[in-house]
């Protein structure tokens, strides 16, 4: 009887100890989430005087641009785009391999999605992420017409691209990041979706160059992109300057 009683007390202590550990873990996660929420909120500000092409919301000193609606989808597929932007030079520098898992954020009509689908082969997958269902409808129709079957359309939100956690080798963001309503939260979620050592690649019109014929809030300087990524577990790898109007800025997730 004494042995049974002693065993019961030991079991009770063990259960209580495990409960305390679990409570501490939950509190730690909650505190971490709250810290991140407060920290991200401090990075945003609203100004009444602002660029009419922006939304009046600023992130780390940069005004966020209005989102290009699906009504302008034709601009993404214009015949002269390859010549103007040399889009043919982007995918080769990404050094994709067969079987890679890639995400095209703000995929639009799927212009880059279709280019990404080729080098990764049938064993790879491209997650084509959009917040506009109308864009996804256009994208899906183009995939069917071109018989491309390794793409998964994803309807994300303005805070979450809805990507699988720890599964993505490379995320490509072409001329879209500057339109994110919540850039901190979006990049935080994208980092969670990356494998250790996975890459995020930004293609943005050069804000340093006044001769690039794009509205100011739709351009970004390399310095600003690097500044905004400094609050995430990302290391700058390189900036590629082969395109006529845009930078290709590469970051890698820390192990």
**Spatial distance between the Cα atoms of 176 and 166, rounded to a whole number of angstroms:** 22
Architecture of domain 44-253: 3-Layer(aba) Sandwich (3.40)
**Spatial distance between the Cα atoms of 177 and 64, rounded to a whole number of angstroms:** 9
Question: What is the Rg, in whole angstroms, of the alpha carbon atoms belonging to the chain?
Answer: 22
Prediction pTM value: 0.84
User: Could you list the pLDDT tens digit for every one of the 255 residues in the chain?
Assistant: 444 455 555 544 545 554 564 454 444 444 444 445 545 668 999 999 999 999 999 999 999 999 988 888 998 999 999 999 999 999 999 999 999 999 999 999 999 999 999 999 999 999 999 999 999 999 999 999 999 999 999 999 999 999 999 999 999 999 999 999 999 999 999 999 999 999 999 999 999 999 999 999 999 999 999 999 999 999 999 999 999 999 999 999 998
Each domain of the chain, given as residue ranges in start order, spans 1-42, 44-253
Q: Where are the beta strands (DSSP E) in 9-166?
A: 44-46, 54-59, 62-65, 101-105, 125-130, 151-155
**Spatial distance between the Cα atoms of 131 and 227, rounded to a whole number of angstroms:** 25
């Amino acid at each position: 009887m004494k042995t049974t009683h002693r065993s019961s007390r030991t079991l009770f202590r063990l259960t209580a100890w495990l409960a305390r550990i679990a409570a501490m873990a939950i509190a730690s996660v909650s505190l971490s989430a709250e810290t991140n929420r407060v920290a991200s909120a401090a990075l945003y500000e609203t100004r009444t005087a602002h660029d009419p092409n922006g939304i009046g919301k600023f992130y780390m000193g940069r005004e966020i641009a209005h989102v290009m609606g699906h009504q302008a989808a034709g601009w993404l597929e214009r015949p002269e785009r390859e010549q103007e932007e040399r889009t043919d030079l982007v995918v080769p520098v990404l050094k994709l391999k067969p079987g890679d898992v890639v995400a095209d954020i703000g995929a639009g009509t799927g212009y880059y999605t279709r280019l990404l689908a080729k080098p990764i082969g049938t064993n790879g997958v491209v997650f084509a992420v959009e917040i506009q269902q109308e864009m996804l409808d256009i994208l899906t129709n183009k995939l069917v017409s071109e018989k491309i079957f390794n793409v998964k359309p994803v309807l994300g939100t303005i805070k979450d691209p809805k990507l699988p956690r720890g599964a993505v080798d490379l995320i490509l963001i072409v001329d879209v990041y500057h339109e994110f309503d919540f850039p901190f939260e979006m990049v935080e979620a994208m980092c969670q979706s990356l494998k250790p050592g996975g890459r995020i690649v930004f293609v943005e019109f050069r804000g340093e160059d006044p001769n690039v014929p794009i509205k100011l809030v739709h351009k970004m300087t390399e310095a600003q992109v690097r500044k905004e990524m400094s609050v995430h577990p990302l290391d700058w790898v390189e900036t590629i300057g082969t395109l006529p109007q845009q930078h290709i800025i590469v970051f890698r997730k820390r192990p």
